[in-house]
Amino acid sequence: MAKDTAVRDKANEREAEHEITIEAPAAEVYRLLADVENWPRLFPPSVYVDRVESDGDTERIRIWATANGEPKNWSSRRVLDREGLKITFWQEVSAPPVAQMRGTWLIEPQSPHRTRLRLLHTFRAVDDTPEGLAWIERAVDENSRAELPGLKAAVELATGTADLTLSFTDWVRIEGSAKDAYDFVNEADQWEQRLPHVSSVQLTETTPGLQVLRMETLTRDGSSHVTESVRVCFPHRRIVYKQTTLPALMDLHTGYWEFEENPAGFTTAVSQHTVIIKPENIAAVLGPQAGVAEARTFIRDALGTNSRTTLEHARRHAEGRR
């Protein structure tokens, strides 16, 4: 269970510390933290992380995540200390109300297979307002409490049952432009009219390119489920997403839509999914005789069918605009 210490107030700057014990070697904990591309799989608030530049042990990354339920994005720099098992970071461009944010991951071996992980934050608010400081303090606390158990579970899973993780892709060739195919997926607010498996949809985009998509999806047996995702859009080539409201069978669902236009004039459109199965719900969803293998097959079929349907309708949309 994650532990935290009281927030320390130093003039207009505040400090917070959280920690957790992980049943895994310290080197594994460091490796997963250092690999930012996997953060959406490790940390519940993280949606997408892009390594913008790297120079030795220093790198610049851009992060899209939720804070107090709101999608935010910012840029950070990190210094990696592999020998000292330490990673320091600071926000290069913060999102209001954050004026300044820096911190440190401290990875401390307790035994060959047990690690104490401490996460330190130091922050300031825009104009040093009490309201801004309170918002940041709450966001840091909520995200840290979510991040540390998520990391603990991910590291322990990585050294345990690998068959709970499932990744796959589907693709289609489109005799049309990447822009038109991208537009079809980007305009998810129209999916209720355009896609047979979507019965209702709500799309919110208060910041251009940063979307919250909530929809009700029909399954083959006539039942339905509601999901919510945060999507980061890069016109007209890629849309990455993470589900924040999940079906019962999943502990995690991330993915992306990718559109690559060939000089010859056709486009390759790809849908990718990464899922972590929630084993304790398999029997309730698929029946008492089902196991992990049946869950993998079910998820591959359900998600793949919907993805291929969406790709096919995107193909028709793009080819119809030639």
Range from 45-54, 102-111, 112-121, 155-164 carrying the lowest mean pLDDT: 155-164
**Looking at beta carbons, which pairs linking 234-242 to residues 24 or more positions away fall under 8 Å?**
234/209, 235/179, 235/182, 235/186, 235/209, 236/178, 236/179, 236/182, 236/183, 237/178, 237/182, 239/182, 239/185, 239/186, 240/47, 240/48, 241/47, 241/213, 242/40, 242/46, 242/47, 242/48
The structure tokens listed for 157 are 């899973």
Residue 255 has a pLDDT of 96
The residue with greater pLDDT, 3 or 311, is: 311
The residue with greater pLDDT, 232 or 44, is: 232
Domains of the chain: 3-158 (3.30.530.20), 162-319 (3.30.530.20)
Q: 135: which DSSP letter? A: H
Name the residue among 84, 20, 21, 79 with its Cα closest to residue 54: 79
Residue 168 has a pLDDT of 97
As to burial, measured by CB atoms within 10 angstroms (0-12 exposed, 13-18 middle, 19+ buried), residue 130 is exposed
How far apart are alpha carbons 99 and 90 in whole angstroms?
Answer: 11
Give the tens place of pLDDT for each residue, 62-112.
999 987 778 888 889 999 999 999 999 998 878 889 999 999 999 999 999
**DSSP secondary structure letters along 262-305:** -TTS-EEEEEEEEEEE-GGGHHHHH-TT--HHHHHHHHHHHHHH
Q: What percent of the chain has pLDDT above 90?
A: 68
How far apart are alpha carbons 146 and 68 in whole angstroms?
Answer: 11
Buried b / exposed e across 89-127, counting CB within 10 Å, b at 16+? bebeebbebbbebbbbbbbeeeeeeebbbbbbbbbbbee
CA max distance for the chain: 63
The structure tokens listed for 283 are 């029997």
pLDDT at 248 over 90: yes
How far apart are alpha carbons 138 and 235 in whole angstroms?
Answer: 33
Residue 258 has a pLDDT of 98
Residue 162 has a pLDDT of 75
Residue 30 has a pLDDT of 94
Residue 244 has a pLDDT of 92
Element (H, E) at 156: helix 130-158
pLDDT at 113 over 70: yes
CB under 8 Å to 87, separation ≥6 — which residues? 30, 33, 34, 78, 79, 80, 81, 104, 105
Q: How far apart are the first and last CA of the chain?
A: 56
The residue with greater pLDDT, 155 or 11, is: 155
**Strands, E assignment, the chain:** 3-4, 8-10, 13-22, 46-55, 58-67, 70-81, 86-93, 98-111, 114-125, 165-174, 198-207, 210-218, 224-234, 238-245, 250-261, 267-277
Name the residue among 30, 136, 32 with its Cα closest to residue 74: 136
- Alpha carbon 310 to chain centroid, angstroms: 21
As to burial, measured by CB atoms within 10 angstroms (0-12 exposed, 13-18 middle, 19+ buried), residue 24 is buried
Q: Say whether the peptide bond before residue 236 is cis (omega within 30 degrees of 0).
A: yes
pLDDT at 4 over 70: no
Mean model confidence pLDDT for the chain: 91
How far apart are alpha carbons 172 and 170 in whole angstroms?
Answer: 7
**Arithmetic mean of pLDDT, 114-125:** 95
Residue 10 has a pLDDT of 60
How far apart are alpha carbons 63 and 49 in whole angstroms?
Answer: 5
Does residue 11 come out as left (phi exceeding 0), alpha (psi in the -120 to 50 range) or beta?
Answer: left
pLDDT at 5 over 70: no
Give the tens place of pLDDT for each residue, 268-303.
999 999 999 999 999 999 999 999 999 999 999 999
